Amino acid sequence: MSDLPPLSMLAARVGATLKERGETVAVTESSAGGLVSAALLAIPGASAFFLGGAVVYTRRAGRALLGLTPADVAGLRGETEPYAALVANRVRQQLRATWGLAESGAAGPSGSPYGDAPGHVCLAVAGAATSTQTVATGEAERTLNMDLFARHLLALFDDVLRQP
């Protein structure tokens, strides 16, 4: 199904790197439902690097939690790399973090209102380097996809952190 390490292992690796560098992270999630934030917060000493996170599951939540305006999202839809990059940057700016992480996808069991199949997610890392990625798990099982989305986001972040 996935050759990614367990979520706790990815979070520990990312957390250790952030602590070592004295950097911070803020997270916005939708279809992962807070699993990324929970994994990072499970690390002892997380307060040294984790500034906060939000589950932004609706446009209303985006307005209330991230201050997104109609102009900010004009021409964008969720579950795209440009949208994920926008919200990763927004949460990073609002919490004054070194890094912002975001994911937006369709966990299943059915597809999204946008027409994306279950298992489709767009990921973004924003900071000194920016990276986006689209993943299709090929799975329709909701809790499995939530876990995979969280692991893919932390794996992408880990890759970005390890770049020279």
CA nearest 51: which of 42, 67, 40?
A: 40
Q: Is the pLDDT of residue 2 over 90?
A: no
Q: What average pLDDT does the segment 124-139 reach? A: 97
Q: Could you give the CA distance from residue 155 to residue 121 in angstroms, rounded to a whole number?
A: 14
Q: Which of 110, 108, 116 is nearest to 144 (CA)?
A: 108
Residue 47 CB partners (closer than 8 Å, separation 6+): none
- CATH class of the domain at 7-126+151-162: alpha beta
Could you tell me the two tokens for 132?
Answer: 């986006």
What is each CA distance from 53 to 95, 111, 148, in whole angstroms?
A: 9, 25, 18
pLDDT (0 to 100) of residue 1: 53
Question: What mean pLDDT comes out for the span 92-104?
Answer: 98
Distance CA 156, CA 59 (A): 25
pLDDT of residue 98: 98
The answer to whether residues 142 and 108 touch, using CB atoms and an 8 Å cutoff, is: yes
What's the confidence (pLDDT) of residue 114? 87
- Provide the 10 A C-beta neighbour count for residue 93: 14
Six token digits for residue 3 = 């050759």
Cα–Cα dist 40/31, whole Å:
17
Domain ranges of the chain: 7-126+151-162
